[in-house]
Chains A and B, each alone.
Chain A
Amino acid sequence: MKKSDILIIGNGISGLFAACIAADMGKKVQILSYGAGTLTIGGGIIDVLGYDDQGKFIADPLKGMDGISANHPYAKTGAQTAKKALEAFLKITEEEGYPYLGSPDKNLWLPTAVGNFKPTCLVPRTMDTEALFKADNILVVGFDTMKDFYADMATKNLRERLSKNKNVEEFIVKLNFEYGRDLRDISAMDVARWLETDEGHRSFVDQVKGHVKANTAIVLPPVLGLEPNYKVLDSLKKELSCALIEVSSLPPAVTGTRLNKMLHSCAKKRGVQIIEKARVVGSEIIDGKCQAVITEGFDRQRKFYAEQFILATGGVYGGGIIAKIGAMSEPIFNIDIEVPKVQTDWSYKQLFADKKQIFAQYGVSVDENLTPVAADGSKPASNVKVVGRSLAGYDFCYEKSGNGVALITAYKAAAAFCGEA
């Protein structure tokens, strides 16, 4: 079945979300994916817009989109579409039994694994950061042999940042896992699996219970289960009578894994067909319209036909954009991206430059309909839309806008292909 209504290239957050939206509107959708998408590297939280170009905090992301620079993806979508997209996402999380918290018009401050805070917009209930600010007692819970979370660093930094009348304490849960030379280091994923078992659950409650005072919020690494539901969270909350908040952390990302599973499940339920390991190497364009994209593997080339195409292959990291010496391009539709010839002009001297990094903003230019525009102003294919990290004009790290841009542009592209403005 190689002909679909809408063919999406890439199964990261933007590809999967676009697929869900389009399939919901009755389209036959196929996804070609090469690799799992970078969703499981990221934290599974929806940053929409945390800072403006000057690094000023934005309290209301939707308002922050007004007057954003013209080449920013949000300038193409507008705040109205952004609101619709994020609401559609919230609805999906609700339907899938893994509802997210937050509202498109309000940024939240989420604690991180360092013990500082980052602005974000929509989070799973395991990151109910409002509860942290309401609590009088903060208990930072670490695990004695787990890699990649240092409770004392988080405690120290949280204490420095939170108001003096909050009591921030640290507690280390003993895992008592078998340990030895020939056993792998313990990751957050291992602990998440442990907390899904009765034994792990019991042990956690028994150890932590005595340290939970009235009005306590527990801050802990992302370990509250690997499945997109709140079974682990809800039962711990009930037994400990306190809030639990997972921090924003580094990969492998338990929270990203959950969101990935949720979106996959949602897409599958809607009949979206996913072809894995399909490396798209080119496209067939006739009279300014894409007819098919071409995959290549160890056997032969294959053509996948569709009416419309959504390019959701990611940026340089995801492999959607290829960076070479003094050159950059989008390989499927063969779009050259203008970059300086001298490599050091791609960046500032400091990596953390206190402004948007230059290279981070490189990507495919699009018109207001997200149709790609080549360097010479021509449009290679009118039935193609570009979404997510492949887009030019934003620095998701600096702005804290990564998954927001992905969801909002994906929504706009899918809805437009389904006849909705």
Chain B
Amino acid sequence: MLKTTVVVIGGGATGVGILRDLSMRGVDAILVERDDLGYWTSSRFHGLLHSGGRYAVKDKEAAKECIQENTILRKIGRHCVEATESIFVRAPEDSEEFEQEWVKSCAECGISAVPISMDEAFKLEPNLSRKLLSAYRCPGAAVDGFRLLWQTVASANKYGGKAMTYKEVIGIETENGTVVGVKIRDRWTGAEEKISCDFVISASGSFAGEVAHLAGLSVNVKPSKGTLIAFNHRICNRVVHRLHKSSDADIFVPHGSITILGTSSIDSAPDDTSTETAEVMAMMEIGKITFENIYDYRILRVFAGTRPLYSADPNAKGRSASRGFVALDHAHDGINHFMSVCGGKFTTYRLMAEKVCDIVCEQLGVNAKCHTAEENLVDDPSPDLISRAKAVFPSYGAELASSRLGNEKLERVIKRIETQPEMKELVCECENVTLAEIEEVASEPTSHTVSDLRRRTRLGMGTCQGTFCAYRSVGAVNKENMPWAKDSVYLFKEFLETRWKGIRPVLWGNMLRDIELTRAIYDAALNLSGVEEIK
């Protein structure tokens, strides 16, 4: 039986933030996640590190928190953040009064908003619609959800914190009204296990109601689904916001080699990540106001995530429900040492964790202060390591790999290539992911599927959407004889079907062409689905 002080349920941004914070304060903690880290909401968003500008008019408190955390994350999470800056643009459809109010509010919140001429805006972002009227530069940025989560866990690991993926909580155990442990089930083996603990924090986002239910309680979370569109290339080099009252499809975020347009807001079930073509079309129509040639850009895929909006009022909906976060101490409901944390923004994940951990530590009688803002998540690779990387990675590979991997893993990957030069082979030619990186990540105990490798490396996230790297990655993990890589056909299908889910609602033009190619390879040439009746 495992034993710890705090069990954190949920491997999203909130959960990993709490794990790291507790670990750094010297509190023993284990995080359990039912799927992979960042499988749900924390990767299913536009990857925007808010400057606060978007909230400046409506919610100054939130705006101030955003700019404060933005500044901290640019420093401690520099390998997850692309410090692109952002541009707020006003279209003829948008109110001029709002612009004035916004400028004032930004100043009040300490958010730099520098007005620029439209000529300059078009020079910075040539694809912007020529109909736009005004533009401001703000300190927004892009952040990689998967990477931030894994690097936060890596930081927690250094202090003894532990995260376990594919562990589903099936029971919360109490004695005399106080939590004493949780029961978990391994999603791969089915094995059940108990973790005894003194405290449980549910950071399970849209599933908070379901987790609370395990303890016989109810938490009123209103999941609100947001759809996102990923385009094949960087149509802008900065985050581009519409300067108006926050609305659907008004944010473009350049994200690595792609651009993400977000988002919509529809009440939904917590596990509803489906997307309808109509939602995509509605978003494209709005997006066209910002980028007039939007229909010329190739869509790679669409995806959706649910925002776990908390509401004390069961009738509140969508954007009107609070986006702030709440920490519910279930002592009020009769169970001690059990908290549910709901809502909040990705940008302020560290601050939320700090606030939650302050409460938890007080209850646990721990005096340690939070110092998560002072220490980088992962060490910077040394100049020596970078030059070693440059000597072995193919062009455009070293920098991408070093920001993906962090210092220690980068060194291991470099060693693989230094020992076996052929390990620099590109498994994913669209996102420049080497065989060495795939083998390194595949050998980690948290990898169980090719999709897990994808979330850690960007494998299959580019132009061909897995068409070529599916064969290479399945072959590579088979070669390494991973215990989880026994059934080749299962691995292929798991990876390709998840890619398909994002393409199906946008099955026209090149998206359909790409799927035809995928089927021609995996169905026609490799016969993954036909029965075999050999003699």
**Residue in contact with B475 in the complex, picked from A119, A153, A179, A351, CB distance below 8 Å:** A153
For A51, the chain B residues whose CB sits under 8 A away are 530-531
Which B residues from 263 to 293 make CB contacts under 8 A with A?
Answer: 276-278, 281
Contact B520 A147 (CB under 8 A): no
Contact B519 A185 (CB under 8 A): no
**Residue in contact with A325 in the complex, picked from B276, B281, B474, B489, CB distance below 8 Å:** B281
Contact B488 A114 (CB under 8 A): yes
Contact B507 A396 (CB under 8 A): no
Which B residues from 504 to 535 make CB contacts under 8 A with A?
Answer: 504-509, 512-513, 515-535
Contact A324 B509 (CB under 8 A): yes
Q: Which A-chain residue is minimally distant from B422 (CB atoms)?
A: A145
Contacts A116-B489, A150-B476: A352 and B277 contacting too (C-beta < 8 A)? Answer: no
Tell me whether A398 is interfacial, beta carbon within 8 Å.
yes
Write the nearest CB–CB distance from B306 to chain A, whole angstroms: 20
Contact B524 A47 (CB under 8 A): yes
Complex CA–CA separation, A179 to B531 (angstroms):
40
Complex CA–CA separation, A342 to B393 (angstroms):
44
Contact A400 B527 (CB under 8 A): yes
Contact A109 B534 (CB under 8 A): yes
Interface of A is mostly: loop
Tell me whether A113 is interfacial, beta carbon within 8 Å.
yes
Complex CA–CA separation, A197 to B521 (angstroms):
29
Complex CA–CA separation, A283 to B278 (angstroms):
34
**Residue in contact with B528 in the complex, picked from A57, A147, A317, A352, CB distance below 8 Å:** A352
Q: Which A-chain residue is minimally distant from B278 (CB atoms)?
A: A342
What's the tally of chain A residues with a CB closer than 8 Å to chain B?
A: 64
What's the tally of chain B residues with a CB closer than 8 Å to chain A?
A: 58
For A152, the chain B residues whose CB sits under 8 A away are 478-479
Contacts A324-B508, A325-B281, A343-B507: A248 and B516 contacting too (C-beta < 8 A)? Answer: no
**B402-410, B446-454, B492-500 - interface stretch:** B492-500
Contact B534 A153 (CB under 8 A): no
Write the nearest CB–CB distance from A337 to chain B, whole angstroms: 13
Complex CA–CA separation, A157 to B391 (angstroms):
37
Complex CA–CA separation, A357 to B497 (angstroms):
14
Q: Which B-chain residue is minimally distant from A249 (CB atoms)?
A: B525
For B426, the chain A residues whose CB sits under 8 A away are 185
For B474, the chain A residues whose CB sits under 8 A away are 153
Tell me whether A204 is interfacial, beta carbon within 8 Å.
no
Tell me whether A80 is interfacial, beta carbon within 8 Å.
no
For B478, the chain A residues whose CB sits under 8 A away are 150, 152-153, 156
Complex CA–CA separation, A109 to B507 (angstroms):
32
Complex CA–CA separation, A342 to B515 (angstroms):
18
Q: Which A-chain residue is minimally distant from B394 (CB atoms)?
A: A181
Contact B507 A359 (CB under 8 A): yes
For A147, the chain B residues whose CB sits under 8 A away are 425, 472
Contacts A317-B513, A325-B281: A250 and B529 contacting too (C-beta < 8 A)? Answer: no
Contacts A41-B517, A51-B530, A316-B513: A133 and B535 contacting too (C-beta < 8 A)? Answer: yes
Which A residues from 155 to 190 make CB contacts under 8 A with B?
Answer: 156-157, 161-162, 179-182, 185
Complex CA–CA separation, A57 to B421 (angstroms):
44
Q: Which B-chain residue is minimally distant from A345 (CB atoms)?
A: B277
Contacts A150-B475, A317-B516, A346-B507: A113 and B526 contacting too (C-beta < 8 A)? Answer: yes
Write the nearest CB–CB distance from B423 to chain A, whole angstroms: 10
**Residue in contact with A359 in the complex, picked from B391, B496, B512, B531, CB distance below 8 Å:** B512
Write the nearest CB–CB distance from B58 to chain A, whole angstroms: 34
Contacts A114-B488, A248-B526: A397 and B422 contacting too (C-beta < 8 A)? Answer: no
Contact B277 A342 (CB under 8 A): yes
**Residue in contact with A351 in the complex, picked from B500, B509, B520, B535, CB distance below 8 Å:** B500
For B520, the chain A residues whose CB sits under 8 A away are 41-42, 317, 396-397, 402
Tell me whether A55 is interfacial, beta carbon within 8 Å.
yes
Complex CA–CA separation, A393 to B268 (angstroms):
38
For A118, the chain B residues whose CB sits under 8 A away are 524-527, 530
Complex CA–CA separation, A115 to B391 (angstroms):
36
Contact A250 B471 (CB under 8 A): yes
Contact A181 B392 (CB under 8 A): yes
Tell me whether A225 is interfacial, beta carbon within 8 Å.
no
For B533, the chain A residues whose CB sits under 8 A away are 57, 109
Q: Which B-chain residue is minimally distant from A319 (CB atoms)?
A: B513
Contacts A181-B424, A315-B516: A117 and B527 contacting too (C-beta < 8 A)? Answer: yes
Complex CA–CA separation, A350 to B501 (angstroms):
8
Max chain B Cβ within 10 angstroms of own Cβ: one of A248, A350, A360, A397: A397
For A153, the chain B residues whose CB sits under 8 A away are 474-475, 478-479, 488
Which A residues from 93 to 120 make CB contacts under 8 A with B?
Answer: 109, 112-119
> What 0/1 readout, one digit per residue, does chain A (30-74) give for beta carbons within 8 Å of chain B?
000000000001110001001100011100000000000000000
Tell me whether B484 is interfacial, beta carbon within 8 Å.
no
Max chain A Cβ within 10 angstroms of own Cβ: one of B476, B519, B535: B519
Tell me whether B468 is interfacial, beta carbon within 8 Å.
yes
Tell me whether A347 is interfacial, beta carbon within 8 Å.
yes
**Residue in contact with A181 in the complex, picked from B393, B492, B525, B535, CB distance below 8 Å:** B393
Write the nearest CB–CB distance from A316 to chain B, whole angstroms: 5
> What 0/1 readout, one digit per residue, does chain B (445-489) give for beta carbons within 8 Å of chain A?
000000000000000000000001001101110110000000011
Tell me whether A144 is interfacial, beta carbon within 8 Å.
yes
Contact A351 B515 (CB under 8 A): yes
Tell me whether A354 is interfacial, beta carbon within 8 Å.
yes
For A343, the chain B residues whose CB sits under 8 A away are 277, 504-508
Complex CA–CA separation, A146 to B391 (angstroms):
21
Contact A344 B534 (CB under 8 A): no
In the A-B complex, the 4 residue pairs with the smallest Cβ-Cβ separation, listed nearest first, are: A150-B475, A118-B527, A397-B523, A351-B500
Contact surface of B with A, Cβ cutoff 8 Å? 276-278, 281, 391-395, 421-422, 424-426, 468, 471-472, 474-476, 478-479, 488-489, 492-493, 496-497, 500, 504-509, 512-513, 515-535
Question: 21 A-B residue contacts at CB 8 Å?
Answer: A114-B471, A114-B526, A116-B532, A118-B527, A119-B527, A148-B475, A162-B534, A179-B422, A181-B391, A181-B392, A248-B526, A250-B471, A323-B513, A343-B505, A344-B277, A351-B496, A352-B523, A357-B519, A397-B519, A398-B523, A400-B524
Contact surface of A with B, Cβ cutoff 8 Å? 41-43, 47, 50-51, 55-57, 109, 112-119, 133, 144-145, 147-150, 152-153, 156-157, 161-162, 179-182, 185, 248-251, 315-317, 323-325, 342-344, 346-347, 349-352, 354, 357, 359-360, 396-398, 400, 402
